[in-house]
Structure 1
Amino acid sequence: MESAKAKINGHQNVIVMRHGDRADKREPLWVVIVTAVRPWDPPLVQDGKVQAFQTGQRIRSQVGFPIHRVIVSPFLRCIQTAAEVVAALSAVDLDHNAVSSKDVPSIENSTLKVAIEFGLCDTGAIKKEVAPKDGKFDFKISDLQAMFPEGTVDINVDMACKELPQWEESVEDFKERYVSTLKVLADKYPSENLLLVTHWTGVGTILCKYFKDATKYLVNYCGSVELRRQVSKSNESEEFEVITSHGVAFKDNKVPIHGPVIT
């Protein structure tokens, strides 16, 4: 088992994960039914919360390395997904009719920290009819931070992206921003393993960046791509490689996407 920090002279692992099942996709009339105040920021459905918690259990029991830091988009569905994953990683039992976290072999996550990051947003995919009229999303960061277990939020972290991306951001700008955000975060914490909780386009962007054959793909709710790179004592790092994926497949033949296995 690894120590509380990843070895400086070893590998850094980064998992890029999509949020869970969202209310407006499960129920297309969600906006009308609930007269949502924030129609562009739907929550998870209950099944999405269960799925996120179970994903956290899988990460804790199967990936073979501890997660030191969870970094998350401020959209509610991502925050709720991250909160469920953190609960599972921290062995907190929730009433989800899922396998109890105490039944899952534990990886040391006592120093787990959480931070919110504007750079992991996807504002470009929000439809015009539900987008905020003034273009302002008005996230209350302190309220979002309060959704995580006490002591896990790192309030001293500066975001890699200082401002929220503008609505109707182009695909090209999003891809450039997302890849840059990943690099900034990874370089900022080279001795830590990271879990980035984001959107479908975030997982897809990283997949296309580091796995060249993945041109047409499907990313399920809570689907993820696992990356790894070599980090030296001087913090000089190699490029990331895709090690494996979960809930991600080629679109045409539904074959799961896996990267090269690094021993």
Structure 2
Amino acid sequence: MSQIVWIARHANRLDFVNPDWFLTAERRYDPPLSNDGFVQASQLAQRLKREKISHIFASPFLRTVQTAHAVAEVLDLPIYLETGLSEWLNPDWMTEEPKKHSLAELFKLFPRIDISYTPRIAAKYPETKHQVRQRSGQTARCLVQECSPDNILMVAHGASVLGAAMGLVGDIAISEVKASLCSLVKVVRQEGQWLLELKGDTSHLTNVEEVVRFN
């Protein structure tokens, strides 16, 4: 029985466009989307409009929720916030555990969030590259098993997109997947084997980043 897993990275973030935002932000490690990021999220939604996706999971960071919300609006689906898809909690990028909006605050902004959902995998600061890959890979395997045979979308971050793909197809994803902003990875299960069909597709975007940034 086949199953399709879509893995999307969030769209462009405000601090990539305006680095000074970070200096005065209340939640400096949880930036929102930039103006062009909202355009990218809308283009991602249109790309997935005709796909038979049954469930949407998103990292609880604001930029991933905003990206997932654009898709959820078009597909008329709820959003499940899964901490296992979180940003790499890298101490070289973050001097402390990132402050994020509470579930109640996010639900007020995005009522498509299913507040009854319990995250399956935790993310703990600080973590190594190996730990983020292990964590996001475990999350991907858990979600596809629970949702099988339904098709799902996971909206994550550069490192957790790669880790989720690795969790399904193995280490080949390290050299194959290019997780640029708002890109799409597509993994298909056929006869018990996961196959990588899209490795970071950006054909739905009018603006694509030239250099992939993970932090």
TM-score w.r.t. length of structure 1: 0.68
- Measured in 1, the distance between the counterparts of 2:127 and 2:64 equals 19
Inter-CA distance 188–180: structure 2 relative to 1 (3 Å threshold) = same
- 1:51 alignment partner, one of 2, 18, 40: 40
- Measured in 1, the distance between the counterparts of 2:150 and 2:9 equals 20
**Aligned-partner SS, 2:38:** helix
- 2:193 alignment partner, one of 225, 239, 261: 239
- Measured in 2, the distance between the counterparts of 1:154 and 1:50 equals 25
Paired residues of 1:53 and 1:87 also in contact (CA < 8 A): no
Paired residues of 1:228 and 1:240 also in contact (CA < 8 A): yes
Name the count of aligned residue pairs.
201
Amino acid at match of 1:11: S
Paired residues of 1:39 and 1:131 also in contact (CA < 8 A): no
Shift of 1:205: 2.4
In the TM superposition, what whole-angstrom CA distance separates every residue of 1:101-153 from its partner, at most 9, and x where no partner exists? xxxxxxxxxxx23100010012423655x544xx36354012213333x5x43
Task: State the match for 2:82 in structure 1.
Answer: 117
Inter-CA distance 204–247: structure 2 relative to 1 (3 Å threshold) = farther
In the TM superposition, what whole-angstrom CA distance separates every residue of 1:2-42 from its partner, at most 9, and x where no partner exists? xxxxxxxx31111011001001111121123xx11111111
Paired residues of 1:83 and 1:147 also in contact (CA < 8 A): no
Task: State the match for 1:257 in structure 2.
Answer: none
Identity over aligned pairs, percent = 27
Residues 1:141 and 2:132 are matched in the alignment: no
Task: State the match for 1:196 in structure 2.
Answer: 154
Instruction: Provide the aligned C-alpha RMSD in A.
Output: 2.4
- Measured in 2, the distance between the counterparts of 1:168 and 1:223 equals 26
Give 1 or 2 for the bigger CA radius of gyration. Answer: 1
Task: State the match for 2:179 in structure 1.
Answer: 219
- Measured in 1, the distance between the counterparts of 2:105 and 2:73 equals 18
Paired residues of 1:70 and 1:113 also in contact (CA < 8 A): yes
Shift of 1:199: 0.1
Stretches of 4+ aligned residues off by more than 4 angstroms: none
Amino acid at match of 1:159: P
Shift of 1:219: 2.4
Shift of 1:206: 3.6
Inter-CA distance 136–208: structure 2 relative to 1 (3 Å threshold) = closer
* Equivalence map 1:239-258=2 (5 Å): 239-245=193-199, 246-247=201-202
Inter-CA distance 29–173: structure 2 relative to 1 (3 Å threshold) = same
In the TM superposition, what whole-angstrom CA distance separates every residue of 1:140-174 from its partner, at most 9, and x where no partner exists? 012213333x5x4333322111x4x2222011111
